[in-house]
Structures are given as C-alpha cells and as structure tokens.
Amino acid sequence: MDSSSCAEQMSTALVPVTTPVNATAISEIQFPHEKTLKHAARLAIEQDKPILLDYYNDTINGKAFMGEDSETKEKMLVRSAEEYTSTIQPRGIFKVETDFIVITENSIYIIHGSTKKKTITAPSQ
C-alpha cells in the first residue's frame, strides 16, 4: 500500500460519526449543580481521584443510599448487598447546593442531597 492510499484511509477513519440525540431521554436525566461539579473538580485535582457520578441518579430515585454500620460507624454508598463503595473517609462528606460530594478511599462521588441514610452491617474486610 502506498502512502497516499494509507493517508486517504486514515482521513476517512477520522470522520466524526454523529448519532441522533433523544431529547426526551436527556430531559429525564438530572444533573448535579454547577457549583458541586466545580468543587468536586478541585478536590479531584488536589487528591488525584476520579469523580464518579454513577450513584447520582440512583440516589434521586431511591435505588442507592448512604449506609452506616451500627457498630463501627463506617459509612459507604450502597446499591445492594453486593454493590457498594469503599468506606467514606472521616470528614469526607460535603454539602454543596442540592448535592453531596462524598470522598471514599479511592474516588469522589457526587450524590443528590435527598439521599436516604440507613443502618447497615458493613461487609467484613
């Protein structure tokens, strides 16, 4: 293959593909407050941790909650007995506008301010 046909193939491979956006689906998604995102970004840079939003809509819909072990007082975000975060750090919960920023050992989570709190039995480590 000569260099001109290779360049031709590469240029066509880099053409952006657009997919139609479902406006209804986007309107159903709720987003964290702008100030929350800015504060989380600052913390992520300072602590070199990723920002995760996978619990955000689940906390709005009641599919996830903040659990606290009755004995150890350790806190974590919980979806189910099999799906939960690492322990929330001491002083690792910040209220910003209508949201919470939650810092665990490995990540920074943004959850909604209406997140329910429940007593749990934390898994053995």
Q: What is the pLDDT of residues 58-85, one digit of tens each?
A: 999 999 999 999 999 999 999 999 999 9
Per-residue pLDDT at 22: 58
Q: 34: which 2 tokens?
A: 């702008």
Q: Is residue 24 one of the residues assigned to a domain?
A: no
Find out whether 108 and 52 touch, Cβ atoms under 8 Å: yes
Q: Is residue 10 one of the residues assigned to a domain?
A: no
Per-residue pLDDT at 85: 96
Structural domain total, the chain: 1
Q: What is the pTM of this model?
A: 0.77
DSSP states along 28-39: H-----HHHHHH
Q: Is residue 42 one of the residues assigned to a domain?
A: yes
Q: Is residue 12 one of the residues assigned to a domain?
A: no
Closest by CA to 85, choosing from 70, 71, 65, is 65
pLDDT band at 2 (very low <50, low <70, confident <90, very high): low
Q: Is residue 1 one of the residues assigned to a domain?
A: no
Q: Is residue 93 one of the residues assigned to a domain?
A: yes
Which residues, 6+ apart, have CB-to-CB distance to 77 below 8 Å?
Answer: 55, 59, 64, 65, 66, 67, 84, 85, 88, 102, 104, 109, 111
Which helix (H) or strand (E) segment holds residue 120: the answer is: strand 117-120
Domain span at residue 43 reads 32-120
Q: Is residue 97 one of the residues assigned to a domain?
A: yes
